[in-house]
Structure 1
Amino acid sequence: MGGTRWLLIETFGGGEPTVIGLGSAPRKFVPLAQMFRHRETLATLRAAIEATQAALRPLEILSGDGRRRTVTQPLLIDDERMHAVLVWSGPVEEEVPPRDPVGAWYFNLATGQSTRSNDLLDLYGVAPENRARDHAIAGVFTRVITNSDESDALAKVVRSAPGTEHQAVWTVRRDDGALRAAHFSCRMLEEQSAAGKSEVLMRGVTHDIGDAFDISGAPPPVILEHRVLDAAAEEGEFRAIVDLRTLRLLRWMGPPMPEIAWQSLAGEPVPAIHPEDLPAAKTMSRDLAHARTSALLRLRTLDNGWKPVHARAVLMALDQYTTAALVTVREADPRTP
């Protein structure tokens, strides 16, 4: 421990803290004792993590002989919860090095909502007037360019099994247009809500590891599968991946349908299928096991009205055990019964 690199250590819960970054190099949930064999170093590191988690603020801790210092920077998702901590240790006379941007976030898989920390909004380059911390999980995919493991990540969201972990290097498009390689690390945890209800949350951090064009693992701006899907879409058609169980939007494939409420931003209507059309939507979902399905549905709009759309769906495999619906929607002709 020490030198010019910061350690990024996750403290999501559900297990002992592990290393997920060394400088700008991602690490795969490495146990502290596996990376640091020296007993005194390990004890110093664990004490720094515990002290930071208790204080929930940056700390500078001097060694007993006053010759070394350990500096910490917590990654908070709110005033009471730390998702990770950055740790640097070195001689007191050594200048603390700059650190990579890192931000915390979580998905509430019971509600389909995503919450972002201010650090993550900094990483994204979001202007102060646009800082919505809460939005639909599907909104995450409007900013990130995923890799070939996207189906695996979506399958984990659909299954929502506590203890599940995921890591990936995806490309983030900042609000200033810069493309950054970002290492995502997360773990699913079963927790009690304030109302005492059991919920599964995916808690994670995003670590900016450099310019996307300099990182070989970062996906290119448009991967082939997305180009093929976009080319196959007819004029006026919009495609989305939908959770078969909850009928909740997982992500748009290509641009979202205009006027539809889907982002769950503050001040916007809650995304919904018209209550009278829910039976038809559930029938579509159920019958997909046997054939392609279609129906006329009404979707809630941004002005709190309802837009009639023709929806047709095909079954898609996210992994060997998990399926979703690829749904194509287009505005319904009002003359069509």
Structure 2
Amino acid sequence: MAGTRWLLIETFGGGEPTVIGLGSAPRKFISLAQLFRHRETLATIRGAIAATAGTLAPVEMISDDGRRRTVTVPRLITPERMHAVLVWSGPVEEQVPPRDPVGAWYFNLSTSKSTRSDELLDLYGVPPEQRAREHAIAGVFTRVITNSDESDALAKVVRSAPGTEHQAVWTVRRDDGALRAAHFSCRMLEERSATGESEVLLRGVTHDIGDATDISAAPPPVILEHRVLDAAAADGEFRAIVDLRTLRLLRWMGPAMPEIAWQALAGEPEPAIHPDDITAAKTMSRDLAHTRTAGRLRLRTLDGGWKPVHARAVLMALDQYTTAALVTVREVDG
């Protein structure tokens, strides 16, 4: 089977499972029938996926003639939900090869929260004492060194259209400092919350495909746009990309402003603009359609208080159809 390499098959939902990895080589949502023309092989793979989905646990199967072994490893986001399955099938006498790290995750685009699996935290080398499975979506980008399609990815997050799919290779830094090429695949789905409310979730997996210095698809550690923005920032100023519709932080461009609550970690205050300043913030957002805007806002701090900041914003295009605000903030007195 494909040189007896591990297959990575997504099971996000919204359609039939598709192949997104063959060994360490990314694949673009390839249907099983397209990859496996032999009916018996196709039936074996589909049976392995179904068995794993039924148990949500690893499965090992031997063919009726005793000659072939099929092994699966599920990648769960919760004990009840599988995002992907790794499948290997080969002669019973063949040793099962090593498999790449793969971790599941999802973004709740209705709440701007991200949830990560333990396997994803393993992939990033996060020490046990520093693990947080849930945080703000903006926190995802603190680990990203560069990615070549950042604007496209952010535009899709802003639009939040169910059925949208996305794949890319990003260069990420593990907690031990290693730079890795991370291939991620995801799909947006409209689902019902426990309370029956409609939510849009971006469900995905991240696949570590190797050392970033060895993978040609991995973006270089620094790209021109980031150099320009870093050089243009004055002392005491911090830049962020903000969703114009929700006023939520999408990502910091450079360091985050100190003392501001923005990560939504356990035990921290929820990120927020002061309720009395929401109207002013919405006015700034609307005015960006015509001109640059500026104003004074108060942002929630880690100690539960409010920090007055001066904010100036300009409109930025994420793609041909989607815009966001590039906001520069600095502390003010009083």
TM-score range, shorter chain: over 0.9
Matched residue, 1:178: 178
Return the alpha-carbon distance in structure 1 between the equivalents of residues 220 and 236 of structure 2: 26
Gap regions ≥5 residues in structure 2: none
Is 1:148 aligned to residue 148 of structure 2?
yes
Return the alpha-carbon distance in structure 2 between the equivalents of residues 246 and 194 of structure 1: 22
> 2:52, 2:59 within 8 Å by CA — same for their partners in 1?
yes
Moved more, 215-224 or 129-138: 215-224
Matched residue, 2:44: 44
Moved more, 212-221 or 258-267: 212-221
| 3-state SS of 1:53 partner | helix
| 3-state SS of 1:69 partner | strand
List per-residue Cα deviations over 1:104-149 (Å, max 9, x = no partner).
0000000000000000000000000111000000000000123231
Matched residue, 1:116: 116
After TM superposition, the structure 1 = structure 2 runs for residues 26-175 of structure 1, keeping only pairs within 5 Å, are: 26-175=26-175
After TM superposition, the structure 1 = structure 2 runs for residues 255-274 of structure 1, keeping only pairs within 5 Å, are: 255-274=255-274
Return the alpha-carbon distance in structure 2 between the equivalents of residues 145 and 279 of structure 1: 35
Amino acid in structure 1 at the alignment position of 2:219: P
Amino acid in structure 1 at the alignment position of 2:40: E
Return the alpha-carbon distance in structure 2 between the equivalents of residues 207 and 4 of structure 1: 18
List per-residue Cα deviations over 1:218-253 (Å, max 9, x = no partner).
112221101100100000000000000000000000
Return the alpha-carbon distance in structure 1 between the equivalents of residues 218 and 68 of structure 2: 37
Matched residue, 1:297: 297
Return the alpha-carbon distance in structure 2 between the equivalents of residues 2 and 224 of structure 1: 39
Moved more, 276-285 or 2-11: 2-11
Gap regions ≥5 residues in structure 1: none
> 2:146, 2:221 within 8 Å by CA — same for their partners in 1?
no
C-alpha displacement at 1:2, in angstroms?
5.3
Q: Which consecutive aligned stretches of 4+ in structure 1 deviate over 4 angstroms post-superposition?
A: none
Amino acid in structure 2 at the alignment position of 1:233: A
| 3-state SS of 1:189 partner | strand
> 1:112, 1:248 within 8 Å by CA — same for their partners in 2?
yes
Matched residue, 2:199: 199
Alpha carbon RMSD of aligned pairs, Å? 0.7
Matched residue, 2:22: 22
Return the alpha-carbon distance in structure 1 between the equivalents of residues 210 and 4 of structure 2: 16
TM-score, normalising length: structure 1: 0.98
Amino acid in structure 2 at the alignment position of 1:153: A
Return the alpha-carbon distance in structure 1 between the equivalents of residues 161 and 73 of structure 2: 30
| 3-state SS of 2:147 partner | coil
Matched residue, 2:219: 219
Return the alpha-carbon distance in structure 2 between the equivalents of residues 121 and 71 of structure 1: 24
TM-score, normalising length: structure 2: 0.99
| 3-state SS of 1:3 partner | helix
Return the alpha-carbon distance in structure 1 between the equivalents of residues 156 and 2 of structure 2: 36
Matched residue, 1:275: 275
